[in-house]
Structure 1
Amino acid sequence: MLNEKQIKHLTLPRRKALIRHADERKQAERQLKDSEESFRVLAETVPQQVWVTRSDGMHDYMNQRWRDYTGLTLEHLQSDRWAHLQFIHPDDRAESQALWQHALDRGTLYEHEERLRNGQNGEYRWFLTRAMPMRDEGGQVVKWFGTCTDIEDQKRTEEALRLSQERIRALINSSIIGITSVEMEGEVLADANEAFLRMTGYTREQVQSGTLSRRNIVPREQAPLFERSIRELKESGQHTAFETELVCQDGSRLPVLVGGVIFQEQPRQMVAFMLDNSARKELEQRKDDFISMASHELKTPLTAVKLQVQLVRKRLEKHSQHEAVTALTRVEGPVNQLERLITELLDVSRMQAGKLEYRREPVDLNELLREVTAPIRHLHPGRTILISGSVQASVIGDRDRLGQVFTNLISNAIKYSPNAEAVEIDLARSKDAVMVHVRDHGLGIPREQIERVFERFYRVTDLGQQAIPGLGMGLYIAAEIVKHHGGTITVDSAVGKGSTFTVILPLLRAALSS
């Protein structure tokens, strides 16, 4: 640095050059200061933790976000370049230290996912730590510029995705559930898991060749079930699981329970899930065979007992043995009840086998309901059965079977309304159908059980109804008979307010034209 005396002895050009150099140096210093200030503003603004170290790894700077998270100051770290390791999770610490030392030795990029402890609450969060070497004109590392980016949410998402993929993989590899991917256009099987191939006997080559479609593996009579489920999928994205059969490679049929979901991407695909239902079907068949056999075996001796009771009662009546007649009359009630239960069991067995016989004849519902209610009124003298409305038209069907439907509904209404006096029956008609409503003011049915009341052997479960007898066959039989007549049966109910069963049957003209 020249003093003033020396500067005075310089030539004018030299003096100007010296002044220009001094100005340039001041400008460079201002630019450096401005650059450092810009860096600090940027470092304090970004959402990452930002830090700078010297070439040996000793910390030179860290932003406020870093200090707030760790609770440390720059002075804490300048005494030991490894002081920051105390904030790294013990399971990540050794790898982090090794990678950082390798970057310092080689001057290469440092990048590592690690868990850092919050100095305030002691909790660990995942961060992506990166450090870039900054070099001088000679290529020597002079500083390291580093950031720590919070990736906790990303890691949680990745973990959730990993678990989801593991579950999906476990499902696909399951030896129990058959899975197929079906292209909606043409309904061709695009893929299938090993369980499906094993269940049906088809080969992966057949699937990959594109020769298998729904038409190949679904029995013709079962097609409407699949078409209905596909419509439900297209409309709402889901459908109710249903029981059906699949045609196997050898031509045999496999009972399955089917469910599916639809994907909206192009080409649209449906993923179907199939559970082998053959074991349960076989068990049901054995149960049906046993019920049918037991019912037949019981019916013969019971008929003999009933006839003998009636014969003895008539003889006693002839000889005016009134006390004995009364006693036998009490026996006839349970015998008739047992006979009805056995008849219902036989009906269920025949329905399952498709062997229940029906006659087709015009049936006057007004007259039928009067006939049905008469014996019920006699058995329950304390109950009132009200019939309102009438229809001046007939339905076509089996008179005895339809009588069985209304007997079951009225008997159920009385049984499940022990504290109510009246059962109401309303008749009405539309252009093509007749509606019969059977209403009680009794216990009612829980909403979640309404859809199951027509299932075979299903009984509504409730603490207040445990003492009510029955086998859960009446409503099933009624529903099957109504269905066979081309009608529908539904129920509207609320707990504590009673139930209304509605039977809709086509009128004679509509039934004949269908």
Structure 2
Amino acid sequence: MKQATTALPGKKMITGIYIFVLVYTVVQLFWWGILLHQQSRQIAHYEQLELTHQMHQLSEPSAFMTEMQRLHHEERMRTLKYIGEGTIFLIVILAGAVIVYRAVWKQMRLQQQQQNFMMAVTHELKSPIAIVKLNLETLRKHKLDEEKQHKMLSATIRETNRLDQLCNNILLASQFEHQKSQPFFEPVDLSQLLEQAIQELRDRIQSHDIVSAIEPGIGMEADKFMITLMLNNLVENAVKYAPKGTEIRVSLGIEQNDLLMRVRDEGEGIPAAERSKIFMKFYRIGNENTRKSKGSGLGLYLTRKIVEQHGGTIIVDDNLPKGTCFEIRWQDYSPQPV
């Protein structure tokens, strides 16, 4: 809690110092321009005085006027030179300030997201580990009937699956970041693969009604593990934000030569301003200390990466009348043998 509360004042202080230095630099630039302009006027005044003292040496008045015009022209050229140089310096300073500010702010935001990620992962690890430890200690110390043992073992397996998926997400995110992810593409029955993954989700998730509408016999070149992980992340994201007892619908079908997969929930939906950010790594809506839902901020990031890796696109939209719809589209789908 202390880390989260001290981060904001630190950002404000750094931003304040940065703005002060930038304003001071710009003011100094304008002061430099004013001094150069005054110096130019003094030079022109001394040159005119000297020309007036030498006027008796000039044979004709026209020569005197010519020299005065030349002095005025030189003064104007010096003024234009100072204005041009000052304008260029000002543009360079402001452009550099914007670039530096954006880079620093991006780095600070990334550090904050990484801090939130570490807090979330710590919580995600401690919770299932504590449950697994408690269940195993209970089984060791107490003689339970077969039905209770089965329930505790099933709960333990569910929590170890959570740990396994979290580890997979972290490792896969690292591989994507370093461009080391190499999927194993093979002909798969996508319909059957999704049905199997949905059944496993039903066995593991009891809080929501997971409904499938899968068109049979759809094949494609895909990585089985990646596709399963993609579906798990989308469904578990829906579980986090949709009220208990509501329906989560997974559909797959061909529409107008495009292969479409949708995951719909009946939650509160995602604000339009957040939809372009939710696929960023570590990004989660809200504050890490106040949000109620668990998560590491990697699920949707990995989902987008996996979809792009398989040649598709993913968007998020409203699920009318209420909720969120994630739509994955493979354009110009060509049926593959299964």
| TM-score bracket relative to the smaller structure | 0.5 to 0.7
Q: TM-score scaled to structure 2, two decimals?
A: 0.56
Q: Deviations over 1:393-442 (max 9, x none)?
A: 31212111011111111222222111552112222214653101111121
Structure 2 counterpart of 1:370, one-letter code: E
Structure 1 residues 446 and 284: CA distance shift in structure 2, 3 A: closer
Question: Given the alignment of the two structures, is residue 373 of structure 1 paired with residue 202 of structure 2, yes or no?
Answer: no
* Equivalent residue number for residue 449 of structure 1: 274
- Which segment is superposed worse, 348-357 or 284-293? 284-293
Structure 1 residues 382 and 431: CA distance shift in structure 2, 3 A: same
Structure 1 residues 427 and 292: CA distance shift in structure 2, 3 A: closer
Distance, in Å, in 2 between the alignment partners of 1:386 and 1:285 is 37
What SS does structure 2 have at the residue aligned with 1:451? coil
* Equivalent residue number for residue 265 of structure 2: 440
On the 8 A contact 2:214/2:253 being kept in 1, the answer is yes
Out of 147, 168, 189, the residue aligned to residue 343 of structure 1 is: 168
Distance, in Å, in 1 between the alignment partners of 2:153 and 2:292 is 26
Where does 1:44-63 land on structure 2 (aligned, <5 Å)? none
What SS does structure 2 have at the residue aligned with 1:356? coil
Structure 1 counterpart of 2:292, one-letter code: A
Structure 1 counterpart of 2:182, one-letter code: E
Distance, in Å, in 2 between the alignment partners of 1:467 and 1:496 is 24
Structure 2 counterpart of 1:367, one-letter code: Q
Q: Where does the alignment leave 5 or more consecutive residues of structure 2 unmatched?
A: 1-82, 119-128
> Taking CA–CA contacts closer than 8 Å with sequence separation of 6 or more, which of the two structures ends up with the larger relative contact order?
2
Where does 1:15-30 land on structure 2 (aligned, <5 Å)? none
**How many residues align structurally?**
250
* Equivalent residue number for residue 231 of structure 2: 406
On the 8 A contact 1:309/1:328 being kept in 2, the answer is no
Distance, in Å, in 1 between the alignment partners of 2:213 and 2:114 is 42
Structure 1 residues 330 and 170: CA distance shift in structure 2, 3 A: farther
* Equivalent residue number for residue 65 of structure 2: none
**Percent of pairs identical after alignment?**
25
Distance, in Å, in 1 between the alignment partners of 2:117 and 2:325 is 32
Q: Deviations over 1:258-279 (max 9, x none)?
A: xxxxxxxxxxxxxxx8558766
Distance, in Å, in 2 between the alignment partners of 1:497 and 1:292 is 29
Q: Note the aligned Cα RMSD (angstroms).
A: 5.0
* Equivalent residue number for residue 140 of structure 1: none
Distance, in Å, in 2 between the alignment partners of 1:292 and 1:471 is 6
On the 8 A contact 1:313/1:328 being kept in 2, the answer is no
- Which segment is superposed worse, 382-391 or 435-444? 382-391
Question: Given the alignment of the two structures, is residue 334 of structure 1 paired with residue 159 of structure 2, yes or no?
Answer: yes
Question: Given the alignment of the two structures, is residue 475 of structure 1 paired with residue 308 of structure 2, yes or no?
Answer: no
More helix by share: 2
Structure 1 residues 326 and 430: CA distance shift in structure 2, 3 A: closer
Shift of 1:361: 0.9
Distance, in Å, in 2 between the alignment partners of 1:353 and 1:376 is 30
On the 8 A contact 1:442/1:496 being kept in 2, the answer is no
Structure 1 residues 425 and 415: CA distance shift in structure 2, 3 A: same
Distance, in Å, in 2 between the alignment partners of 1:171 and 1:428 is 59
Structure 1 residues 346 and 323: CA distance shift in structure 2, 3 A: same
On the 8 A contact 2:187/2:219 being kept in 1, the answer is yes
Structure 1 counterpart of 2:323, one-letter code: G
On the 8 A contact 1:176/1:276 being kept in 2, the answer is no
Q: TM-score scaled to structure 1, two decimals?
A: 0.39
Q: Where does the alignment leave 5 or more consecutive residues of structure 1 unmatched?
A: 1-164, 180-272, 294-303
Structure 1 residues 315 and 356: CA distance shift in structure 2, 3 A: farther
Shift of 1:310: 11
Distance, in Å, in 2 between the alignment partners of 1:425 and 1:307 is 30
On the 8 A contact 2:234/2:300 being kept in 1, the answer is yes
* Equivalent residue number for residue 177 of structure 1: 95
Question: Given the alignment of the two structures, is residue 390 of structure 1 paired with residue 308 of structure 2, yes or no?
Answer: no
Structure 1 residues 482 and 449: CA distance shift in structure 2, 3 A: same
What SS does structure 2 have at the residue aligned with 1:177? helix
Structure 2 counterpart of 1:457, one-letter code: F
Structure 1 counterpart of 2:268, one-letter code: L
Structure 1 residues 173 and 506: CA distance shift in structure 2, 3 A: closer
